[in-house]
């Protein structure tokens, strides 16, 4: 898709240039560890909301705090647990149950 490598008409050249810029932008995001982590979290969140049912919205304060493991946890109706580490709380808003397909949203 490199524009200099294309031997096409104006429409194809414009499409190739647009595609090249998209690829370049993707590389800038995924080539940087910080922006890649943000992108991965957003993708994970998008996939969860598309594929798994949202069970409940919960305030972080309503979850149990485990000092030893530095985790917030909440029991799921299936008997499993939702858990999120303290370091993830600012980046993650959707959390999967560890044994079923239910998801909670942390407010």
Inform me whether the pLDDT recorded for 103 exceeds 90. Answer: no
Q: Which among 16, 101, 14 has a CA at the least distance from the CA of 52? A: 101
- Give the predicted TM-score (pTM) of the model: 0.51
CB 99 within 8 A of CB 106: no
CB 95 within 8 A of CB 71: no
Q: What angle do CA 58, 61, 66 make, to 5 degrees?
A: 110
Q: Give me the pLDDT at residue 1, please.
A: 52
Residues in the chain: 107
CATH 3.40.50.880 fits 54-106, yes or no: no
Inform me whether the pLDDT recorded for 86 exceeds 70. Answer: yes
Inform me whether the pLDDT recorded for 91 exceeds 60. Answer: yes
Q: Give me the pLDDT at residue 63, please.
A: 94
Higher pLDDT, 78 or 93: 78
| pLDDT tens digits, one per residue of 5-57 | 666 667 777 887 888 889 888 888 888 888 888 888 788 777 766 666 677 88
DSSP secondary structure letter of residue 105: E
Helix (H, G, I), strand (E, B) or coil at 100: coil
């Amino acid at each position: 898709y490199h524009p200099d490598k294309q031997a096409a008409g104006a429409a194809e050249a414009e499409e190739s240039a647009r595609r090249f810029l998209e690829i370049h932008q993707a590389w800038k995001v995924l080539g940087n560890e910080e922006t890649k982590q943000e992108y991965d979290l957003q993708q994970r969140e998008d996939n969860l909301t598309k594929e798994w049912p949202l069970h409940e919205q919960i305030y972080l304060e309503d979850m149990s705090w485990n000092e030893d493991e530095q985790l917030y946890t909440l029991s799921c109706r299936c008997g499993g647990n939702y858990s999120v580490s303290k370091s993830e709380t600012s980046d993650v808003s959707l959390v999967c149950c560890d044994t079923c397909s239910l998801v909670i949203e942390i407010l």
